Structure 1
Amino acid sequence: MNLQGIVAVSGKPGLWRALSQNKTGFILESLDAQKTKLVANLSTAKLAALDEITIFGFNDDIKLTDVFVKMKTAANVPDSKTDGKKLREFFLEVAPDHDEEKVYASDMKKIVNWFHILKDMPLFNEAPVTEAPVAEEVDSSTDTAKPAVAVKKPVATTVPKAVTKQPAPKATAKPKATAKPRRAE
């Protein structure tokens, strides 16, 4: 499952795909049929990447991708509008180690809703993107194997502002006194 670039935006329903980044934030496209565009300002909007979301567990946190894999193999995935008790029973099947006190019914509804949005998309069945494997190239002149290094460019989360040089302040001369001081007599 390849969820890289899929985000949830606080205050906005549904899921969004990050298309590009500009100076103030990200340009997003909704995953629904309308394909609406949104510019999410990093100073005001909170973005959560689905491949980094975890669910509270008793011992360790549970990755959302692991829960989606178990939901994919589950026989009957409930609707997001079902009762909280039924959702809790379903979550005890797909994520038995989740902390029932910290994972609320609203969280479970949101996860089930996300699953229903993603389950029919091709990216949901793709293999996750991992680091590029090191391949070996054979040099025909020496018949020795050399490792080829694949360089992956990191994605910047913030855009640095342009640095502008400020001109040095000019030294100002103190005005000279034109009148001579008086002598005390």
Structure 2
Amino acid sequence: MNLLGIVAVSGKPGLWKALAQNKTGYILESLDVLKTKMVANISTAKIAALNEITLFGEDEDIKLVDVFERMKNSASVPDAKADGKKLRDFFREVAPDHDEEKVYASDMKKVLNWYSIIKDLPLFTEADPTTAVAEEPAPAEEPAVVEEPAKPAAKKAPAKPAKEADAEKAPAKAKKPAAKKA
């Protein structure tokens, strides 16, 4: 699952894809059908990358990516508008060691909403590029002969005509107003 560049913005519903960064913030595009674009100001908006979000666990935190993987393999995923008891039972199945005192029903609804947004996108079935690079076996390296490219000859600046060169060296003389005799 490739969630790189997918973010959640505080105060904005849904998920966003980070397109670029400028001086004041990030340029984001919504993942819905409207493809709304906005600039999220760094100083006022809180932006959280989905691949870095974790849920509170009993012993250690649970990565959201792992929860999404278990949700993908689950037989049935409840609607985000289901009652808290159904959501809690489902989360006991997909995140069995989550901390039930710290993970609220609103958190579970948010996770289910995010899952419903990204489950049909192609990035949901893509491999994570950070783990794919680590899993690839390193090719057998043969000693390669590297030839250094010839260094280009240093070009000299064209010589300036004598009048211009002398004019640059000599300081410009300022004319003083003539003093009046009384």
TM-score range, shorter chain: 0.7 to 0.9
Distance apart, 1:138 and its partner CA: 3.6
TM-score in terms of structure 2 length: 0.74
Amino acid of the residue matched to residue 115 of structure 1? Y
> Aligned partners of 1:19, 1:39: CA distance in 2, in Å?
10
> Aligned partners of 1:43, 1:59: CA distance in 2, in Å?
33
Distance apart, 1:141 and its partner CA: 6.1
Structure showing the higher helix proportion among its residues: 2
> Aligned partners of 1:8, 1:19: CA distance in 2, in Å?
14
> Aligned partners of 2:65, 2:123: CA distance in 1, in Å?
13
> Aligned partners of 2:143, 2:115: CA distance in 1, in Å?
47
TM-score in terms of structure 1 length: 0.73
> Aligned partners of 2:68, 2:8: CA distance in 1, in Å?
15
> Aligned partners of 2:59, 2:102: CA distance in 1, in Å?
13
> How do 1:12-161 residues align onto structure 2 when only pairs under 5 Å count?
12-130=12-130, 132=133, 134-139=138-143
| Unmatched segments (≥5 aa) in structure 2 | 147-182
CA-based RMSD of the aligned residues comes to 1.7
> Aligned partners of 1:36, 1:100: CA distance in 2, in Å?
35
Q: 1:6-43 CA distances to partner (integer Å, 9 max, x unpaired)?
A: 00000000000000000011000000000000100000
Structure showing the higher strand proportion among its residues: 1
Once the two structures are aligned, what percentage of the paired residues are identical? 69
Distance apart, 1:129 and its partner CA: 1.2
> Aligned partners of 2:24, 2:140: CA distance in 1, in Å?
41
| Unmatched segments (≥5 aa) in structure 1 | 143-185
In structure 2, what is the equivalent of residue 6 of structure 1? Answer: 6
> Aligned partners of 2:13, 2:24: CA distance in 1, in Å?
22
Residue 26 of structure 2 aligns to a residue whose secondary structure is strand
